[in-house]
Every structure is written in C-alpha cells, then in structure tokens.
Structure 1
Amino acid sequence: MTNGPKRAMVLAAGLGKRMRPITDTIPKPLVRVAGRALLDWGLDSLADAGVETAVVNVHYLPGQIVSHVATRTAPRVVISDESGGLLDSAGGIVRALPALGTEPFYIVNADTFWIDAEGSPGDAPNLARLALAWDAARMDILLMLAGLDQATGHSGSTDFRMDAAGALRRAKGDPAGLIYAGAAIVNPVIFADASPGPLSLNRYFDEAITAGRLFGVRMGGSWITVGTPDAIALAEAAVERALAVGAP
C-alpha cells in the first residue's frame, strides 16, 4: 500500500477523567497543547498522510467536538455518535465500519500525538512509515511503536517486544520493550464477526499475536501523551525541543 489508507478512525470518545478539572467543561480531545487541540494534532497528521475521510467517535460533551471539526477542510470528518454509551476502542470501530469501508484504514488515538523526525536523510512521516511497511498478506494489524526514550508523559511500562521481522508479542513489562504509540493500520476483516457493544482492541491484538499477524514499526521523532493537567507543560516543552531539532 504505497500510497497509504484513505480512511481513518480517530478514537475520541473517552471521558478524560484524569484531566479534570479541565475536562469538567471540555472533552479531552479539545485540550490544547502548544496552541493546537489534541484532536487536531492527529487529524493534521492524517491529512498530511493523504487521508480523505476520518471517522471521529464522540461521547462526552459531543457537541463541542462536532462544532470543532466542522471548521476543518481536510480530512473530511464523519461523526460516529456514542452518546448513548461508550463502546471501548474496538467497539467504537465496529460501530463505525460502514463509514470506514472494506480497505485497511488507520486508527489514531485522539489523546496522544507525535512529532515526526525531520532533517535526516530517509526520514519519513510516521504514518507514511506505517503505510510503506503494511503487508496485508502477512499482517492483520500494524502498530506504531515508541521507545521509552522517545516518550513524554508516559507513566506505564512497555507493551510489546518486536523481533527482527517486526512481529510482536506482549512485553509483560520488559524494559527493553516498546510502547504502543496510538496509531496503527488495521484490516477491517478482523471485525467481521464482532457483535455490537463494548469491545477492546487488546482482544484483537492478542488474537493477531496468536495468529502471527501482529506487527510493528518503530516510529521516528517524539511521542507525547498528556494524562493530567500538570503534564501539559511537559508536553509543550517536548514539542518545543522536537521542533527545534527539526529546524533548519
């Protein structure tokens, strides 16, 4: 898939409880970091990758997100309304499948973002790295992964170990592992038998591991997650550092 997926799912329906009191009045995807809403960091990356349609799911204070994305011109945004009940990561995708189509698509978390590496020969934007690495014959899911040294605001352990061919297994806390960096390409065929209701993507990660069809690509640049209000300043400092590295 040299040109990359043209559709994407943006997971934006979470409650953002740890971001209170900011999220008492706005949904977490609209929290601003370095002058840009978290949601826009992801949507801008998708637009730069050539994505034409992004499905954004909403639940908490959904009207604010609907109004916000209405001001965007690219990508075209389709709202998937989960105001009647949260469906978790995979359940939200299953609900949105009619708008996502039958071809592989990107998944992006709305509450994390990244700064692509720039300035070195061969550097490519991270979504382009995913598209270039995608191989439907071998993969059901391809994850973007970050090293602990690339992460700002991450308080957990690692998620996956990756072998020389890019195949993944659970890291089980191994400090030599990598973090799932909130972006992926997925083949929608894996959801063919899914029933409506809450479902976690972790179930599908584990099924793909068992089948030998979960792969990863280590990202370039910096990965940033903002879990609490006091993490915003750290995130903005990380953005400033990352952009300074890429400046001419």
Structure 2
Amino acid sequence: MLKPSQKISNTAMVLAAGKGLRMRPLTNRRPKPLVAVAGRSLIDRALDRVKDAGISKVVVNLHYRGEMLRRHLDKRQGLDCLYSDESKSLLETGGGVKKALKKLVDSGPRPKPFLVLNSDALWLDGFGKGVASDNALARLAAAWDGRRMDALLLMQPTSKALGHKGTGDYRLQRDARLMRVPGGPAPYVFTGIQILHPRLFEQSPRGAFSLVHLYDKAQKAGRLFGLKHTGVWMDVGTPAGVTMAEDELKALGRL
C-alpha cells in the first residue's frame, strides 16, 4: 500500500465538474462521474483506487448537477470527501485545482505535492514486478522527485490507449522529461492521472484556465516529467466508450 505521508499529500483531488456534453444522452439527467461502467459509477471506480492507495481524503469539484453528485459521495464509507463548489462558474482543470488548493495543501513551510485525477479515468494496473505490483498510483508516488519535478504525469502509449480518438499528446524523453507535441502525432497520451506540486500554481492565471498552461510552464523550466503506465487505460468519454470499456473489462475478467 502507498504511504502518502512519506512523499505526497494524504489528500487527493478528483476533477468532476465537467458538463459531460460528449457523454449525452447518458448525462441528460446525471453528471458524467455518475455514469456507470459495468454497474459501478466512474467516480466510484476512481475513488476505490484512491482509497486502495492509502489516501484517506479527497477534494471533488462540483458544477453540473453537483448536488446529485454530493449526495452520492456523502454515502461513501472510509473516505473523507470535501467539495469545491464551481456551480456559479466553471473553472476548467487548472482553475478548479487552484481554487481547491487550500483544501489540498497543508499550511506548513514545506507543502507536499498532491495527486490529481480525472473522475472518468478508468485504468487497470500492470502485472510486472514494480512498486506495489505495478500499482499506478504507488508507482507515481515512488517516482516523484521534488528536486527535479513540478509535475509528474502518468502516460499511456497512444497505440494502447483504448477508445482514444486523438493522435497523442507528448514525447517521453530518455530522462523521463515530457515534450508536448501540439496537434500530434505523438507516441504518448496523458491519462488524466498526475502528481502536482503547489509551487506550480504560483503566478498562475485567475479564473478559468487549463492545466495544460501549467504543463507548458513546467516543460519550459525542464520540470515536467512523465511515467509510462504498465497496464490498461481506457478513454471513457462517450456512450460508445462506456460500451467499449465494459467489453474490455469482461474480456479481461475484471468486471
């Protein structure tokens, strides 16, 4: 089990404030994080993995049908859920994390980096001989080096990104630094799972902005790093993606 107190914060953030437009009609009456894959909601699957990694507290940002999502999460056991309300103004990924920083970061002199993941990130760990049997979150935490890094992103080879329609996001250098390839093609796609240091948000924009703005900032400083995922990752952003994910889980015997 990951021991987040050693390297990263015991509080993680799950991004759940999107409108879910690509997931319609499944999101006509519910927020995208509550869409079920094989009988379990996307956000519950993500939170299960966070809890299994030994993290005990999460911050979830809310926007579309936020109260429905809050009521659902309030019923969870064994995980303390805090909320960041974006009902009046959607702040995108970067602005959403920035607004929640006070809930994520201790007020001490040496704030720890923290885990951030998309609520629709659906992945299976690899089966190698790595840290904690290739547990993706444990591998990220073990790979974190605050002397060199401001951001560490979990990357999937584009050729193995199930359901992903894009052409890739980054090149992963031999020294594990990432180089973005605007417009692609690129050999790696970002999974939506990452560790970020609070200092990355210093002098960041006000209001709504994408985390990509901060990735570019870290890349320019040579402090944006990537870690290759050793297991399965699925892009579950559309109804077709849900069907694909259920078929894949069934084929792998992981329902």
Same topology, TM > 0.5: yes
CA distance in 2, matches of 1:24, 1:165: 45
> Does the 8 Å contact 2:151/2:195 carry over to 1?
yes
Correspondence for 1:99 among 98, 103, 108: 103
Structure 2: which 5+ residue stretches go unaligned? 106-110
The answer as to 2:47 corresponding to 1:40 is no
> Does the 8 Å contact 2:7/2:144 carry over to 1?
no
The answer as to 2:129 corresponding to 1:121 is yes
1:39-118 → structure 2 map (5 Å cutoff): 39-101=43-105, 102-118=111-127
Correspondence for 1:132 among 142, 145, 163: 142
Which deviations, in whole Å up to 9, do the C-alpha atoms of 1:42-93 show, x marking residues without a partner? 1111111111211000100011110111111233110111000100001001
Which deviations, in whole Å up to 9, do the C-alpha atoms of 1:104-136 show, x marking residues without a partner? 000100122101123x43332101110010000
> What is the CA distance between 1:172 and its match in structure 2?
3.7
> Does the 8 Å contact 1:158/1:172 carry over to 2?
no
CA distance in 1, matches of 2:138, 2:183: 28
Give the secondary structure class of the aligned counterpart of 1:129.
Answer: helix
Equivalent residue, structure 2, for 1:180: 190
Give the RMSD, CA atoms, in angstroms.
1.8
> What is the CA distance between 1:190 and its match in structure 2?
1.3
> Does the 8 Å contact 1:4/1:128 carry over to 2?
no
Closer, same or farther: CA 3–190 of 1 in aligned 2, 3 Å? closer
Equivalent residue, structure 1, for 2:108: none
The answer as to 2:146 corresponding to 1:142 is no
1:215-230 → structure 2 map (5 Å cutoff): 215-230=225-240
> Does the 8 Å contact 1:222/1:242 carry over to 2?
no
How many pairs are equivalent? Answer: 244
> What is the CA distance between 1:3 and its match in structure 2?
5.4
> What is the CA distance between 1:99 and its match in structure 2?
0.4
Equivalent residue, structure 2, for 1:14: 18
Amino acid at match of 1:115: L
Amino acid at match of 1:117: G
Equivalent residue, structure 1, for 2:204: 194
Amino acid at match of 2:124: I
Give the secondary structure class of the aligned counterpart of 1:21.
Answer: coil
CA distance in 1, matches of 2:182, 2:207: 28
> Does the 8 Å contact 2:156/2:191 carry over to 1?
yes
The answer as to 2:219 corresponding to 1:209 is yes
Equivalent residue, structure 2, for 1:238: 248
Give the secondary structure class of the aligned counterpart of 1:238.
Answer: helix
Between the aligned residues of both structures, percent identity stands at: 41
Give the secondary structure class of the aligned counterpart of 1:22.
Answer: coil
